[in-house]
Chains A and B, each alone.
Chain A
Amino acid sequence: MTAALVAGLLKLLCGAQARWLGTAPSAEVRIYFANHTSNLDAVVLWATLPPDLRPKTRPVAAKDYWTKGRVRPFLAQKVFHALLIERHKVTVRENPLEGMLAALDAGFSLILFPEGGRFPGLEPRPFKSGLFHLAKQRPNVGLVPVYLENLNRLLPKGEVLPVPLLGSVTIGEPIRLGPAETKVDFLERARLAVWNLHLS
């Protein structure tokens, strides 16, 4: 109920609809990975998924951002079921990969931003290695590239109040780790899969 309301509001705000180019919505476990320019990215991508997929899809988000104040923790826990990870003090005990693997094994899809931070600009920065490790340890999970456009103009870094501009969400063909593919090659191929959606 709250989830449908929040998703509706988000879609109204950015007028965004997902364009499914290389794949159709599916209930199977997947990892959606996208470029990251705005705090709205995770929630807008989540909101544009079909309603029946939303409860089964968890955005991976920064713990320091989503535990501040009262609204954000409520949204993160009750609405988006975000998987909050530690960005700054990664230790053996708090290895974010463990949580993600556990979520995948429990049947949840994930929304991931492999650039490891928000960067303005159209082209995604080089990816961090987390996506590679997930692909290697769970080879059956399809990795779905997503390109998010214009969301940083809705809510630029450092701003609190969003502006209602039109954003777009383009979803491409799933990729998988090749049998002999190196980490560097795979991460670059994944990055290009996202970037090519911008051009299509």
Chain B
Amino acid sequence: MKLQIDKQTILLVGGVLALLIVSSVVGWMLSRRRGSPSFEATIANLNARTRAWWFMVAIFMLALATGGIGSVVLFGLSSFLALREFITLTPTRPGDHRTLFWLFFVITPLHYWLVATNWYGLWSIFIPVYAFLFIPVRSVLAGDCERFLERTAKIQWALMICVYCVSYAPALLSLEIPGYARQNGKLLFFFILVVQMSDVLQYVWGKTLGRHKIAPLVSPNKTWEGFLGGVLTATLIGAGLWWATPFTPLQAAGMSLAITLMGFAGGLVMSAIKRDRGVKDYGHMIEGHGGVMDRIDSICFAAPVFFHLTRYFFTP
């Protein structure tokens, strides 16, 4: 997983930093304006989000600069924290305790180790096959049958979403694309940029133009205007970044569309779970955003699809 830092990487980094500076300045100017309490609350939240973005971008760039292993560690930690938020919200019983211990301290680190060592044949089936079968076996040994299938299914689902799906993002670094050797850092950068820009732009379009609710029972803040505006603009941004990827402009647009649609689907599904559990956010770790899970819900759904599309069409 050796990565090189080239001119295009520097351009990407510079672009993101410029965007953050512009957002901070605009947010600062908006915060000086007086308005209704709800307006001021929205602006305060916006600025908290921007501050958190500076932090997240710094961590992400630091991870990429280490040449691969840092990215695996970063996404591994994100998985760990997301899993912890997810299991906290999901009722388990004392009979699941030992299973959960395996989940946090054996299965998750082992899976990321397999990703780090680039052992595709094993990491791609380790959780769907081995961990999937191990979890009910470990739980059944505890001898508690109450709601057994429900508890087991929830633990398996948590592992698939928080660990397996998220790990597809750093796994992008291991794809061997002809003519793109040692440049995969830009592919991961492209993916994260498109998926997160889509989230941000859906928020911006929704806040400014949003009228028609798209899923009022699941996520009252999501609107058709936000969805269409966010998906279209994020797809255009993705297409405009084709020079940093192994794709043509049209291919980059298609990939970006797939990423943004899957990201939207992920946000919606993870919202339904929050709503069912009666909470607004998965946690409080990231100021303005909620928990780690609230920030990576779109990555969970977009990363596996983007990985496999790229692997199928662009690797021999």
Contact = CB atoms under 8 A, between A and B. Distances in A.
Nearest to A161: B101
A177 B185 CA distance: 65
A155 B85 CA distance: 16
A164 B84 contact: yes
A153 B92 CA distance: 8
Nearest to A159: B97
B104 interface: yes
Given A15-B84, A15-B283, A163 B94 contact: no
Interface hub of A152, A157, A161 (most chain B Cβ within 10 A): A161
A163 B104 contact: yes
Interface string A52-81: 000000000000000000000000000000
A120 interface: yes
Contacts of B97: 153, 156, 159, 163
B87 interface: yes
Nearest to A120: B94
B100 interface: yes
B94 A156 contact: yes
* Main secondary structure on B side of the interface with A: helix
A166 B84 contact: yes
Interface string B60-82: 00000000000000000000100
Given A150-B88, A165-B88, A166-B283, A157 B94 contact: yes
Interface residues of A, number: 13
B100 to A, nearest CB: 4
Q: Give the interface centre of A153, A159, A163 by most chain B CB atoms within 10 Å.
A: A163
Interface residues of B, number: 14
B78 to A, nearest CB: 14
A163 B100 contact: yes
A99 to B, nearest CB: 32
A120 B94 CA distance: 10
Contacts of A15: 84, 283, 285
Main secondary structure of the interface of A (DSSP, over half): loop
Nearest to B102: A163
Contacts of B85: 166
A23 to B, nearest CB: 21
B132 to A, nearest CB: 20
Contacts of B100: 163, 165
Interface string B19-37: 0000000000000000000
B175 to A, nearest CB: 32
Contacts of A150: 88
A68 to B, nearest CB: 21
B88 A163 contact: no
A113 B198 CA distance: 49
Contacts of A166: 84-85, 88, 283
A189 B80 CA distance: 40
Contacts of A164: 80, 84, 104
Contacts of B283: 15, 166
Contacts of B285: 15
Looking at A120, A159, A165, the one whose CB has the most chain B CB atoms below 10 A away is: A165
B267 to A, nearest CB: 21
9 contacts: A15-B285, A157-B94, A159-B94, A161-B101, A163-B100, A164-B104, A165-B87, A165-B88, A166-B85
Interface of B: 80, 84-85, 87-88, 92, 94, 97-98, 100-101, 104, 283, 285
